[in-house]
Amino acid sequence: MNNFCPLSVIIVENDQTDASTLKQYISRIPFLKLLMVCRTAIEALDLIYTKKPDIVIVDVDLPMMSGLELISGLTSQKPQIILTAAHQQYAFNGFELDVTDFLLKPFDYQRFIKAICKIKQRHYNLNSEFSSKELVPAKRNTLLDDLNTKVVTKSLAKEQRFIWVKVDKKMMNLNTSEIVYVEGLRDYVKIHLAKINYIVNLTMTKTEELLGNSSFIRVNRSFIINKAFIICVKGNTIETSLNNSLPIGVNYKDAVKQLVFN
């Protein structure tokens, strides 16, 4: 059993139904402690500075002051933020403000778990592991069974590297730290960022050379993933921050194990 201190949470949500749903989700996770539910950003602002929560779950659509305005106003001792909204367009705004995760309404308990996993990874960023048995039942008899559905905490420094790629008839300068993963498409690759995708005339081998292996890992013949955007390794798959699961190839198991246990 893990002996982690509870992570304190403040909810900032004007909709009573959504607030009740969040309270129910939080009550099902033993290491979360709900401090308060606020109806407005102004009410929350004072509590965030006095209570100093570990996590703030804030909706975009709030009276008087929006959730985005609240987040941008947090300058010192900023907690980890989960931004919620009814429209996908706010995801980009959230990540510009360095939120930990964005949840598009309506979201279910499983998607909430993924956000909390990401929070916990960052909070206990001590090159150790924690078991997600506190969150969901572990799957057994799967590839990488020794992981036992463990979510792995890693300290990953962001590298500010750039690569030039040709998209249509123009050259694009891409920051590699913003690339979530790369998908192979025969003689082309699709580069997936948080908000947009680019199809580039490159092979996977050449793309792997360009990206290097310090921040990226190839998990099968068709996918290269940015280590910073890996949420968890579960069974035969790796889950990314884009809320999708990518398969681990047989010939790449050892590389994934090395990433997890080193």
- Looking at residues 111-130, what average pLDDT do you find? 69
CB 99 within 8 A of CB 91: no
CB 175 within 8 A of CB 198: no
Identify which of 117, 43, 104, 95 has the alpha carbon closest to the alpha carbon of residue 10.
43
- Looking at residues 99-118, what average pLDDT do you find? 88
- Distance separating alpha carbons of residues 140 and 29, to the nearest angstrom: 21
Per-residue pLDDT band for 262 (boundaries 50, 70, 90) equals low
* Identity of the highest mean pLDDT range in 72-76, 212-216, 219-223: 219-223
Per-residue pLDDT band for 125 (boundaries 50, 70, 90) equals low
* pLDDT tens per residue across span 35-90: 999 999 999 998 998 999 999 999 999 999 999 999 988 876 689 999 999 988 88
Domains (ranges, CATH) in the chain? 7-124 (3.40.50.2300), 162-261 (2.40.50.1020)
What lies within 8 Å, CB to CB, of 155 at 6+ separation is: 125, 126, 127
- Distance separating alpha carbons of residues 113 and 115, to the nearest angstrom: 5
pTM score of the predicted model: 0.51
Q: Does the structure show a pLDDT above 90 at 192? A: yes
Q: How many other CB atoms are there within 10 angstroms of residue 251's CB atom?
A: 10
Residue 155 is predicted with a pLDDT of 33
Identify which of 139, 133, 145, 159 has the alpha carbon closest to the alpha carbon of residue 260.
145
Residue 43 vs residues 48, 192, 212: alpha-carbon distances, Å = 9, 38, 46
